[in-house]
């Protein structure tokens, strides 16, 4: 599988936690969408061993997480993420026998670890476990994402909680204490993705060149009996130009718009039958100038092992916009990829330079599935606004004009392998 990629959402209040780099030098593979010929990875439970955890007990966050291969298999990829999608930095040895985290785990966080392997015959395996790290105290810590910086108009705000919150009244306390402000003002709301994760987005995209501030008033507030809010680091997002890329899978064209003006239209190829590209709105997650994409790690029947350049990632499961010089003859004519949007090297380099994390990429007229709202990147914009409000603990009252005076939500008015 590919060099797994970082996500910008934060997961812990620990100041020393650096989770911005890829987990391992690993090979990538394109993910199909329902190809009946693709062999599913087998259960690799007997081929890997985890240090200090089998998922049944809390672990010491100050100890490194280690994954070791057994039985002659080799590890091809390890991804350890929290509920917001931020990836733990780690290293895989040259022989693929051991992966080790290179930064401390966060306290009071739930992790999901996904390990891909190959046995002696090259067959792909997969093992996934979840575990919790020990909390420092009986505090509900909140970590906002993304990190402070410049993002596109589609970037949602995320809040990762150190403990699950399920009681509706407790959720309302949390939500009222998480403040999102925007200049110029917007109408927006939080959405509970799960018991540990909230996303905030405006009704429409962020205005170009807006300034968005995220703060918490939860510190010292009783969330429920015996549970009090902890401190949280604030985040500031500077929104750039409104950059929007529209890919029409039926006409095999991608048009990039900047601030409402069409900049360029280029020929592309998207996913072929059995591997059709997801329809819907996606958000740029990261950019990688080079990714090695390999089919065998996820059991795709069509073999490939390709160096891929100028790769702009839009889903965690491996959908990219990237250079595909091998398919130039099909670009603008037919869909021949395994789900990615391929274009010439020149056009891919141009696209790579035009976009930044948070910019919007939409695919229409594909025969593929719809983009998932959560868990595979940021599909938040595919949820209609009325449905989005239903995900708030404050209900329809969550709709509010976020103001620069930081009044939002104070009281009732208030996210696997690349595809080529």
Catalytic residue annotation: 322, 340
104 Cβ contact list (under 8 Å, min separation 6): 14, 16, 17, 61, 62, 64
Q: How far apart are CA 126 and CA 83, in angstroms?
A: 20
Q: What distance in Å separates the CA atoms of residue 49 and residue 65, rounded to the nearest whole number?
A: 11
- In whole angstroms, give the CA distance from residue 17 to residue 292: 28
Cα distance between residue 106 and residue 88, in whole Å: 10
Q: Is 238 in contact with 211 (CB distance < 8 Å)?
A: yes
Structure tokens at 96: 């693929």
Place of tokens 């035009």: 354
Identify whether the C-beta of residue 336 lies closer than 8 Å to the C-beta of residue 348: no
Q: What is the spatial distance between Cα 276 and Cα 257, in angstroms, rounded to a whole number?
A: 24
DSSP structure string for 279-305: BEEEE--EEEEEEEEESGGGT-SS--E
CB distance 246 to 362 below 8 Å: yes
**Is the separation of the CB atoms in 342 and 327 below 8 Å?**
yes
DSSP 188: E
- List Cα–Cα distances, 101 to 134, 145, 415, in angstroms: 17, 21, 22
Spatial distance between the Cα atoms of 373 and 51, rounded to a whole number of angstroms: 33
* Residue (of 128, 107, 110, 112) closest to 42 by Cα position: 128
Question: Residue 276 gets which letter from DSSP?
Answer: P
Q: What is the DSSP string of 120-132?
A: TT--EEEEEEEEE
What kind and span of H or E run contains 350? Answer: helix 345-354
319 neighbors 340 (Cβ within 8 angstroms) = yes
Rounded-to-integer distance, Cα 337 and Cα 175, Å: 42
């Amino acid at each position: 599988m590919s060099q797994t990629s970082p996500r910008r959402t934060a997961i812990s209040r620990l100041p020393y936690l650096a989770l911005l780099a890829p987990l391992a030098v690993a090979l990538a593979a394109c993910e199909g969408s329902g190809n009946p010929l693709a062999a599913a990875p087998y259960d690799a439970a007997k081929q890997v061993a985890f240090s200090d955890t089998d998922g049944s007990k809390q672990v010491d966050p100050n100890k490194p997480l280690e994954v070791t291969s057994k039985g002659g298999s080799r590890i091809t990829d390890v991804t350890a993420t929290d509920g917001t999608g931020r990836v733990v930095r780690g290293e895989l040895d040259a022989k693929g026998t051991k992966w080790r985290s290179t930064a401390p785990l966060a306290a009071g966080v739930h992790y999901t670890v996904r390990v891909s392997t190959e046995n002696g015959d090259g067959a792909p395996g997969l093992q996934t476990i979840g575990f919790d790290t020990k909390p420092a105290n009986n505090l509900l810590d909140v970590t906002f994402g993304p990190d402070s910086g410049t993002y596109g108009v589609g970037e949602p705000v995320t809040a990762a909680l150190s403990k699950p919150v399920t009681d509706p009244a407790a959720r309302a306390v949390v939500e009222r204490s998480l403040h999102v402000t925007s200049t110029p003002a917007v109408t927006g709301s939080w959405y509970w993705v799960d018991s540990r994760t909230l996303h905030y987005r405006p009704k429409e995209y962020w205005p170009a060149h807006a300034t968005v501030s995220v703060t918490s008033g939860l510190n010292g507030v009783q969330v429920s009996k015996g549970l009090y809010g902890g401190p949280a680091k604030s985040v500031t997002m500077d929104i750039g130009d409104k950059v929007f890329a529209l890919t029409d899978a039926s006409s095999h064209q991608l048009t990039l718009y900047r601030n409402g003006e069409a900049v360029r239209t280029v020929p592309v190829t998207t996913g072929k039958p059995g591997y059709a590209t997801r329809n819907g709105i996606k958000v740029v997650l990261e950019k990688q100038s080079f990714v090695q994409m390999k089919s065998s790690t996820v059991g795709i029947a069509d073999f490939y092992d390709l160096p891929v350049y100028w790769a702009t990632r839009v889903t965690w499961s491996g959908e990219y916009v990237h250079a595909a010089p091998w398919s130039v003859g099909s670009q603008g004519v037919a869909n021949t990829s395994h789900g990615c949007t391929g274009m010439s090297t020149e056009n891919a380099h141009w696209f790579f330079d035009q976009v930044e994390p948070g910019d919007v990429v939409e695919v229409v007229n594909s025969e593929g599935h719809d983009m998932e709202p959560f868990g595979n990147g940021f599909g938040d914009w595919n949820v209609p606004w009325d449905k989005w409000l239903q995900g708030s603990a404050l209900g329809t009252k969550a709709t509010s004009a976020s103001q620069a005076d930081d009044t939002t939500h104070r009281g009732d008015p208030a996210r696997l392998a690349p595809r080529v």
